[in-house]
Structure 1
Amino acid sequence: MDVIQEGLAKKYIKFDSEERKYITYVIPDVKKSFTNPEEKVRAETYLQLILQYEYKPQHIDVEVTVPARIPSIHADLVVYKDDARKSPYIVVECKKETVSEAEFVQAIEQGFGYTHSLRGDYLWVTSGLKSKYYDVGNFPAGERIDNIIAAIPRFGQSKLSRAKYYKRAVDEDGRPAFDLEIVAQDELTRVFSQAHQALWAGGKRNPSEAFDELDKLIFCKLWDEKRARKKGEPYDFQEFTKEDPDFLLKRVRAIYEEGRLKDPEVFREPIRLTASELRTIVGYLAKLNIGDTDLDSKGRAFETFLGSFFRGDFGQYFTPREVVDFIVKVLPIRNESRVLDTSCGSGGFLLYALDKVRAQANHMAEEGYFKKESVQHYNHWHDFAEKNLYGIEISESIARTAKMNMIIHDDGHTNVISFDGLQSDQEIIGKTGNKGFKYNSFDYIITNPPFGSSVKQTEQAYLKNYRLGIKDVSWIDRKQKNISQLGPRDSQSTEVLFIEQCWRFLKPGGRLAVVVPDGVLTNSSAQYVRDWMEEHYRIVAVISLPQDAFKATDAGVKSSVLFLQKLTEKQTEHIQHAKQKLQNRLWEKPDYSQAIAKLEAERDRIMKNHQGFDASLINWESEENLKNLKGQAIDPGLFDKAKQPLGGPNRKLIEKTEEYRAWKAEITKEHSERITELKENLQDEYQAELARDVANYPIFMAIAEQIGYDATGRKTGVNELDTIAEELKGFIADIDSGRDRFFA
């Protein structure tokens, strides 16, 4: 309910202009600045007292002077028992939404002081996002726990309700009550953020631990909403009137354990909050109806909260929604598709895939295939979420967050696991018990693997099992030196290994969309990676992202989105055979193999014969030469240039001098440069013929300079990825329809 709009319609309040700089409470005719954040909370609370608690405007006063308080101060709102406003009943203290927990506690003390001075019966302290209620009149002045109540009484209500929130807004005695509230996205985001801040407590608990505990309580809240209860039964995830705080803690823990029995992988650790801390967070979450809140609103709220959290210490786990949306929009994922993210982080790619299939279900309902609220509609997307959606995340806490994120989005968390995504499928299945993670079984992999880190052979023995984890020799060097691979690498970058791991997980014809640093696509040192990719994948598209695409998440590496399609074994063998045949033909050309051999022979002959080296230039007394010769006796007469023999001790002594070494380096450099030039020409000719005869198919390429946000993460008005997505979808459709016949 938008109480401000209803209050305007019923003329309980009015604004001075459309800008709403000032608000007037018509009764009792008080004008205040509406730009003050606390005033907005007061206005909403004032209207709740009228519209929801059914008090007459004549019984409510704004800014009531508190007696016996010096200097003169005012209570924000007071509800009176009588029209004459002589007998205070409820005192309300309002604070802005962003008030800290410490400030909220201080406001409670302030409210108690006002209530005692005014001789009121009840106290309501609220920030809009959170409220606390107290029975002040029937307890000693210092009581702050036993006199907590679930809610202030409604107008005419003589008996306090046991709880505030009841199924279908009727309490156990049949009286009007409150049901859970569906709130807007921005309010839900603020609730999550404020609750996290309260748990963090300015450093009392580290942000990650606070996030974990909040996740557990959101899980409890959702589970409590799903539990079967009759009309008039109270929800369990809330404070009851005059209840011992330990009872609330036990009740919430029971909800938590009940949920864990069904899915023990979501949370393995117990709730670690004290009774007091738990009450604080329940105060934020109790009123929310998270389950029935619009899917997009609650999803965006949690994602926005995740974004603000993950941009801190965990920025590497957060892929901007514009990039995620682009990738999922392009791929023809359907409900029968098996989808995997091998580095799922907080679950963004999986959620967008789920939302895409849910949208397809809605569209099918509109087309008349089934009714929107039917079992068929539900099964269409929920079976996909439960059976076809998979994620791997190496960080246990982040994997748990991904699960929670998907639960918020109405499920899809079942097959999200915490594991090293580079382990073999048998290792993953054996350790997790999830048989769905089989190689050669996925239709789509959508992922943004971690950049910049390496897997070391000394730390992960599985590196040797990757073809891209083996030292490689260029095909020219293999031909020239008659060698092949050289054994395992000492280390390999994670992004390269994930390209191969994704190939293993995909079924033939399956597609990979992966964010990669541009070095994989452009660096000469990564040529072997590109060679391997063109033998095992069809390159579908390369979409260049701007330099600052990931800067807002503290990753400034220039990146691109690579779309690949796994080839069949037969197609890979065909390409490898064709490449081998082309390499053999080109190597046999005299301009290359014979010319390279001739240069090598010439270099060796010159060095062997000291051809062109002038020994008379040697300074035998130089410090470097004396060190190299190690005190050997020198007969200067032996080094007369005209009498100098090529063999014997003279040759060995000459080759130890710095002059000879400099000459040898120069000869080696000169010939190496000429050989390198021949090899480069050979490689250029090879690549040209390869592109023409072996891998001659179209590749979609685009450069996106503006993608909807700037380097700070601030939204902009232009996102070129939207236009690129439409073009690329058509390109992929042509491949799928057979109009592209390269691999026919």
Structure 2
Amino acid sequence: MADLEIQEKDGKIYCPLKKAWHVSTPEERVRQYYITILANKYGYSLEQMEQELKVNNSKRGQGKARADIVIWKSEQDKIDRKAAFIVVECKAENVKVRVEDYYQGFNYASWAHADFFVTTNEKETKYFNVDPAYLPQKLEEVVAIPTAKEVNDAVRIEQIKNQTKLFTRDEFTKTLRACHNIIRNNDKLSPEAAFDEISKLLFMKIRFERDNKGMKVFTKQEYIDAAQNHEKNVRPGLKGTDLYSLSYMQFLFRTTKEFFKDDKLFDDKDEINIRENSFIQILEKLEAFNLSDTQDDVKGIAFEEFLGTTFRGELGQFFTPRTVVDFMTEILDPQEGEVICDPTCGSGGFLIKAFEYVREKIESDVRFHKDALRMEMEGDDYDSLSEDEQIKISQAIDDMQAALNTELDTSVEGSRMYQLSRNCIYGTDANPRMARTSKMNMIMHGDGHGGVHHHDGLLNVNGIFEERFDVILTNPPFGQNIDRNQLVSEADKFTNEEMKKKYQGKYGSAYDEALRQVEDHIGESLLSLYDLGSSSTLTEVLFMERCLRLLKKGGRMGMVLPEGVLNNKNLQSVREYFEGRAKIILICSIPQDVFIAAGATVKPSLVFMKKFTTEEEKQYAKCKEEAINEVTALHQSEIDALENKISKCDTLVESLKDDLKDARERLKKAKKANTNISAIEKEIVTIQQEQRDNKENRKKAIKELEELHKIIAEEVKPVIKKKFDYEIPIAKIDDAGITTTGAASDENQLPTLVTEYREYCSDKQLWDTKIVNFSYVKKVDGFYRVEANREVNLNG
């Protein structure tokens, strides 16, 4: 039997399932193209297929149930209207395959109890197993659909359903650990060095699969074939260059470094430090996974769990348990458009969670707009419209979906995800391996890594400087001291002139001012840059001040700190410093068990603060002034008496000076006349004694006045607190979701506390409603397109 071919003429395309010519719309062309695929490649007959099958009992708000193509197991099943086997929905090729956009076909597939659901836009086709155990049915992506010959082969169909395309994070984590063991056994590298090599290989794999748009997986055989081709056809042409001496493995890594050069993942001198046979064994282990086509949360969380097992112990301090990271992020509730920072980012846990948290808000908002616009465009009489009218509406919906989908693409300049990934997430870490790992971790989680730098978190660097951030989440190093002899050095300066121009263009004069923190203090003590540096050398204290400085007015921060750091009598000045600049909005005590697996010996607390707004600064200043005036008034008589005593002493000083001068003049005359010398000398001694007594009395009065002012200052503090009074919620958690071994516990109390705090936060209006800019779509000349940004109230 001859292959089915597409027929087009005069702007129309022949539809064999309808036995009619239809207008050749983009969607119709995709539909007819896929029908030829089903017939020619899979062997399905036209008699067991049907086009544009509709059902009229779908629920409102879920779309009109319609299937572009329906396939039954046999022609007889179709005649008998038995359950469909495969349902296909087609979109024009400009509509990226996002399952939520294929609502009509999916609704029909669920209603018809189909085994498989297919989405296609010609360029990209995805296959799903429709799991009947879930209501509504759950979609699970698989690698293929059965051919016509396989429809009655129950074993083969079950095999296909079990060949899921999106692997689980547990599978990936186990595979990464197996790869790690290959290197440790074959190449005898330390856990950290072995991790570095796996990271290099993972990014070589990502680059290869991105280049091939997910159509090819970087397998052992792919590598062997490419290596042979390189030796035979590529390497000879490289003679005379430094690339000629490289093995194919090193050549491949060199091109990977170039691919990720803007991300600064690898040093120029980096190369693969394992044997080629180890490299090939690892490729073989990873063959089952296509990293370019895998959900970010799957590979990202797997990578993160692998990190935790690799670095647990010596580098455990760089990892904050995910239950704590989730809790702190949800408490501060970062919003779209807010700028977020972790100045001691370690492996990037807080940055990744914040990125994912805001991304979900954006995705949810886009889904909401898609549903609302689709319902509006379909109207209540969609089923009664003519085919041409339905086609126009379908095209308009496709345009709308395509426009909104651009907002979710990090590569589309100006999109909401572009703004989030490039302009809202920042971090630093002083450990070069951790800074690099954080970037890698963020790429695995779906971008947002460009603002991460290897740098001392106490010093300004690109995009990370004073009053820049809405939200700070961090677990700073604590229990350590900064050496008073540690100096700001030339090595701390940022010297990349090309990048400096870029940042100057982005941040303006604020960036130039930020760089002066380092440039104007070369050779000076690092502690001298901070107000609290004179009273404490503790890292946690310095980072508390650093985070407060980094925040915008009204910005909020959450920090892991040693329990009681703000109640320590030795650090009273620290608490007072923060009381005058920020509100404590929550203190949460958590079990020491949470950090034992990471090697911590100090019981931690989670402390949340909000920097004063301009209005709160004024309120605090007013309360302070009133308190000072009130307390001073109570001691005014004592102050007046002491000041009067000091004034009298000052007056007497001048009088005694004159008396002494006069006595000395008289003594000179007496000596010439040789008369009355002894009496005048006694008089001078008496005056000098009076001077000493007066000086002592003055000194004593000044000291008493100083002590009195200290008493007043201490008495002022509770008065300020009474006047600037606000509630400080304190919570104690007995189970934070993790045991001493690092395993998950059963009764994590943190999610419950999040719910309770959200209600409290809303009731007390702890921070202002945010206003953000985001793109939206509007009908222009009959099509839905992204239009200019507008301001939208998040609570509006």
TM bucket normalised to smaller: 0.5 to 0.7
Residue 719 of structure 1 aligns to a residue whose secondary structure is coil
Residue 582 of structure 1 aligns to a residue whose secondary structure is helix
Instruction: Report if aligned partners of 1:454, 1:492 keep a CA contact under 8 Å in 2.
Output: yes
Code of the aligned partner of 2:755: E
CA distance in 2, matches of 1:738, 1:407: 31
Alpha carbons of 1:590 and 1:731: their partners in 2 closer, same or farther (altered >3 Å)?
same
From 358, 365, 374, the counterpart of 2:405 = 374
2:575 matched residue in structure 1:
530
CA distance in 1, matches of 2:221, 2:355: 28
1:198 matched residue in structure 2:
182
2:526 matched residue in structure 1:
462
Alpha carbons of 1:714 and 1:252: their partners in 2 closer, same or farther (altered >3 Å)?
same
C-alpha displacement of 1:235: 6.9
Alpha carbons of 1:233 and 1:277: their partners in 2 closer, same or farther (altered >3 Å)?
closer
Q: Deviations over 1:569-624 (max 9, x none)?
A: 56436535643653565366469979xx9xxxxxxxxxxxxxxxxxxxxxxxxxxx
Instruction: Report if aligned partners of 1:548, 1:556 keep a CA contact under 8 Å in 2.
Output: no
Code of the aligned partner of 2:209: E
1:612 matched residue in structure 2:
none
Instruction: Report if aligned partners of 1:449, 1:515 keep a CA contact under 8 Å in 2.
Output: yes
Code of the aligned partner of 1:715: A
2:520 matched residue in structure 1:
none
Code of the aligned partner of 1:321: R
Alpha carbons of 1:201 and 1:684: their partners in 2 closer, same or farther (altered >3 Å)?
same
1:445 matched residue in structure 2:
472
1:336 matched residue in structure 2:
337
C-alpha displacement of 1:513: 1.0
- The residue correspondences of 1:287-366 to structure 2 (distance < 5 A) are 287-366=288-367
Instruction: Report if aligned partners of 1:583, 1:686 keep a CA contact under 8 Å in 2.
Output: yes
C-alpha displacement of 1:185: 1.3
CA distance in 2, matches of 1:332, 1:237: 47
From 553, 556, 563, the counterpart of 1:511 = 556
C-alpha displacement of 1:348: 0.5
Q: Deviations over 1:183-227 (max 9, x none)?
A: 221110011111122222388222212111211111111111111
Q: Deviations over 1:148-198 (max 9, x none)?
A: xxxxxxxxxxxxxxxxxxxx99xxxxxxxx999642211100111111222
1:495 matches 2:526: no
Instruction: Report if aligned partners of 2:219, 2:286 keep a CA contact under 8 Å in 1.
Output: no
Instruction: Report if aligned partners of 2:468, 2:550 keep a CA contact under 8 Å in 1.
Output: yes
C-alpha displacement of 1:284: 2.5
Residue 455 of structure 1 aligns to a residue whose secondary structure is coil
Residue 508 of structure 1 aligns to a residue whose secondary structure is strand
Code of the aligned partner of 1:513: G
Residue 446 of structure 1 aligns to a residue whose secondary structure is strand
From 209, 233, 237, the counterpart of 1:225 = 209
Sequence identity (%): 32
TM-score (norm 1): 0.56
2:264 matched residue in structure 1:
264
Higher alpha-carbon deviation: 712-721 or 277-286 = 277-286
From 719, 733, 742, the counterpart of 1:713 = 742
Instruction: Report if aligned partners of 1:515, 1:561 keep a CA contact under 8 Å in 2.
Output: yes
Instruction: Report if aligned partners of 2:220, 2:284 keep a CA contact under 8 Å in 1.
Output: no
Higher alpha-carbon deviation: 201-210 or 234-243 = 234-243
Q: How many residues align?
A: 463
Residue 519 of structure 1 aligns to a residue whose secondary structure is coil
C-alpha displacement of 1:353: 0.8
Residue 224 of structure 2 aligns to a residue whose secondary structure is coil
Code of the aligned partner of 1:259: F
Code of the aligned partner of 1:437: I
Residue 448 of structure 2 aligns to a residue whose secondary structure is coil
Instruction: Report if aligned partners of 2:200, 2:253 keep a CA contact under 8 Å in 1.
Output: no
From 584, 592, 597, the counterpart of 1:547 = 592
- The residue correspondences of 1:33-72 to structure 2 (distance < 5 A) are none
C-alpha displacement of 1:322: 0.6
CA distance in 2, matches of 1:709, 1:718: 9
Code of the aligned partner of 2:406: V
C-alpha displacement of 1:712: 2.1
C-alpha displacement of 1:681: 9.3
CA distance in 1, matches of 2:196, 2:217: 30
Code of the aligned partner of 2:169: Q
Code of the aligned partner of 1:722: P
CA distance in 2, matches of 1:686, 1:290: 62
CA distance in 2, matches of 1:543, 1:230: 45
1:421 matches 2:451: no
Code of the aligned partner of 1:272: I
Code of the aligned partner of 1:438: F
Instruction: Report if aligned partners of 1:543, 1:560 keep a CA contact under 8 Å in 2.
Output: yes
Alpha carbons of 1:360 and 1:683: their partners in 2 closer, same or farther (altered >3 Å)?
same
Alpha carbons of 1:447 and 1:234: their partners in 2 closer, same or farther (altered >3 Å)?
closer
1:725 matches 2:789: no
C-alpha displacement of 1:326: 0.5
Alpha carbons of 1:716 and 1:587: their partners in 2 closer, same or farther (altered >3 Å)?
same
1:393 matched residue in structure 2:
429
Alpha carbons of 1:737 and 1:724: their partners in 2 closer, same or farther (altered >3 Å)?
closer
Q: Deviations over 1:390-411 (max 9, x none)?
A: 1111101011101110111111
CA distance in 1, matches of 2:214, 2:304: 33
Alpha carbons of 1:441 and 1:198: their partners in 2 closer, same or farther (altered >3 Å)?
same
1:75 matched residue in structure 2:
none
- The residue correspondences of 1:586-597 to structure 2 (distance < 5 A) are 586=631, 589=634
CA distance in 2, matches of 1:394, 1:692: 41
Instruction: Report if aligned partners of 1:545, 1:561 keep a CA contact under 8 Å in 2.
Output: yes
Code of the aligned partner of 2:334: I
